[in-house]
Amino acid sequence: MSAHLHREIERLKKSLLSLCAIVEDQVQIAVRALLDRDEELARAVRVRDAEIDQREVEVEEECLKVLALHQPVAVDLRFIVAALKINNDLERIGDLAVNISKKAKRFAALPPMQIPFDLEGMCAKTQAMLRDSLDALVNLDPELARQVCKRDDEVDAIKRSFRKSAEQRIRQNPGQIEFLLTLLAVSRNLERVADHATNIAEDVIYMVDGKIIRHAEAQ
């Protein structure tokens, strides 16, 4: 690797990891706003989303610049390709954090009721998957990335369980429909965050090992 290419890739790594930190923080704040019924925290997430959008554009431009000027190959090319995909996943996670914050505001305005599924558990599992996928990226750890991929089914199972419970409760208690639909929307957003965390983990494996494992189980 030329010295100039090395500097460009190191700068790109720093930009991508900085975006990782912001996005992870956004998800944490959105979840806290939801669980604590805190409208001020929810508003803070929405305000900061513009920064994520801007940084996502900047990282993409950096990737394209490196591709155009240096035509990297092998490991360097895999890194740029993975960085472009991870960058997009991070921006989508940021959008999902905003969605959760919007639901948190609505949730805070509703009368407290019993939550018919393990909302805190789902939040915790989703945040742990995101944290570990980003740790795998920081440390270029494909084994940790594989563990993240295996845990995606747990979040999916919680969401499916809640959907069945919500449908039953809506039939039995029509007065709870807004409460239940708000929580159902939150569960879908959390599931999507977990899916994007899994995408990041898969891209870390590709970046390090050169293996594309997406859809591997279906083959």
How far CA 80 is from CA of 48, 68, 97, 128, 165, in Å, comes to 26, 11, 26, 26, 43
13 closest CA partner among 65, 83, 81, 88: 83
pLDDT above 50 for 133: yes
Q: Which H/E stretch holds residue 43?
A: helix 39-70
Per-residue pLDDT of 161-175, as tens digits, reads 999 988 888 899 888
Contact assessment for residue 84 and residue 140, using Cβ atoms and an 8 Å cutoff: no
- Are 192 and 60 spatial neighbours (Cβ–Cβ below 8 Å)? no
**pLDDT for residue 14:** 94
Is residue 45 scored above 50 in pLDDT?
yes
- pLDDT over threshold 80, residue 1: no
Cα 56 to chain center, whole Å? Answer: 14
What is the rounded CA–CA span in Å between residue 179 and residue 82? Answer: 39
Q: Which two tokens stand for residue 51?
A: 């920064």
- For residue range 53-70, list pLDDT tens digits in order: 999 999 999 999 999 988
Confidence band of 113 (pLDDT split at 50, 70, 90): confident
Question: What residue type is assigned to position 141 of the chain?
Answer: D
3-state secondary structure 5-23: HHHHHHHHHHHHHHHHHHH
Q: Is the pLDDT of residue 219 over 70?
A: no
Q: Looking at the predicted structure, is the pLDDT value of residue 43 above 50?
A: yes
pLDDT of residue 216: 64
| pLDDT band at residue 28 under the 50/70/90 scheme | very high
Task: Give the pLDDT score at 15.
Answer: 95
Examine the pLDDT at 106 and tell me if it is beyond 70.
yes
Taking alpha carbons only, the member of 139, 124, 121, 134 closest to residue 22 is: 134
Q: What are the contacts of 159-162 at 24+ separation with CB within 8 A?
A: 159/122, 159/187, 159/188, 159/190, 159/191, 161/117, 162/116, 162/117, 162/122, 162/187
In the chain, what are the domains? 3-218 (1.20.58.220)
Question: How many Å apart are CA 210 and CA 187, to the nearest integer?
Answer: 33
Q: What angle do CA 88, 129, 81 make, to 5 degrees?
A: 30
> Structure pTM?
0.92
State yes or no: pLDDT of 102 exceeds 80.
yes
Residue 116 has pLDDT above 90, yes or no: no
pLDDT, tens digit (0-9, with 9 covering 90-100), for 157-210: 999 999 998 888 889 988 899 999 999 999 999 999 999 999 999 999 999 999
Show the tokens assigned to 25: 């923080």
> For residue 152, what pLDDT is reported?
95
Distance CA 164, CA 56 (A): 37
Look at residue 215 in the predicted model and tell me its pLDDT: 66
Looking at the predicted structure, is the pLDDT value of residue 4 above 60?
yes
Question: Two tokens at 191?
Answer: 């599931």
Residue-level pLDDT at 218: 42
